[in-house]
Amino acid sequence: MSDFVSAVELNDLLTRSAPVRVIDVRWRLDRPEAGHDDYLTGHIPGAVFAALDTELSTHGEPSEGRHPLPSTATLQDAARRWGVRAGDTVVAYDDFKGIAAARAWWLLRQAGVDVRVLAGGIRGWKDEGFAVATDDVAPDPGDVVLEEIGADALTIDEAAAFPASGVLVDVRAPERYRGETEPLDPAAGHIPGARNLPTLLHLDATGRILDRETVLANFAEVGVTPGTAVAAYCGSGVTAAHTALVLHEVGIEAKVFPGSWSQWSNTPGRPVAIGDQPG
């Protein structure tokens, strides 16, 4: 069963008053503080704004990366604030190809929640002609109890060792992987042994995942086939969760290194590879 849901399917669930909680996870690297304002300009009726930086992440030292994992307690408090109750399905969406929504999917799935991502995001919802709302939704608190998260996450040492036994995929833009540019972190390049496959290659112009055969062919080019041990990293652990979602859709389970390049490049002594080869 797909972990994506269409706008038509979501509207049908909401119309039938099914036990669904919708969260708006609008967040952009270039506008990290603007997500709530965008939410207020028009969101799916009943959707609650979920803050990626404070509810789906925590703050720490630079050596922990830009988006360290939240504690299970922090995530549970957030889910209850969103109104999630035991047995509910959560549908997450954003306005940028599902990248931020996938972070919610990755965390909540580990926590034992039935979670989906809205294909096409808010744009797909509007394209179907469905209404939007501008209120700041504050539902009655939920009672969900989350399972401990972190089992699908790699530590920095596990990420360093991973290429020896599987495929570590760097899902950033090729120029960042090659070390030609680095707009955010103190060093340019990639983790030695990692292979580059940007996550946006798996999506069409609307942010929907490409067909299964195309996605599998993309991953096969970097050595990932069904049965391969695979892990993904990006700049700060957000986009890599989307790659894990894409892989899950084609039947391949992946780990994520949530510290990603922001942690690696801020940790003294970690080697850096440059160029278009794993190194």
- pLDDT tens sequence for the chain (279 residues): 899 999 999 999 999 999 999 999 999 777 777 899 999 999 999 999 999 999 999 988 888 999 999 999 999 999 999 999 999 999 999 998 999 999 999 999 999 999 999 999 999 999 999 999 999 999 999 999 999 999 999 999 999 999 999 999 999 999 999 999 999 899 999 999 999 999 999 999 888 999 999 999 999 999 999 999 999 999 999 999 999 999 999 999 999 999 999 999 999 999 999 999 998
Say if residues 254 and 247 touch (Cβ distance below 8 Å).
yes
Among the listed residues 234, 238, 244, 245, the single catalytic one is 234
pTM (predicted TM-score): 0.96
Collapsing DSSP to helix, strand or coil, 102 comes out as: helix
Q: Is 234 a catalytic residue?
A: yes
Please report, to the nearest 10 degrees, the dihedral formed by the alpha carbons of residues 63, 65, 70, 72 taken in order. Answer: -70
Cα–Cα distance between 81 and 83 in angstroms, integer?
A: 5
Starting at the edge strand that comes first in sequence, how are the strands of the sheet with 114-118 ordered?
A: 4-5, 114-118, 89-93, 20-24, 48-49
CA 122, distance to chain mean position in Å, is: 16
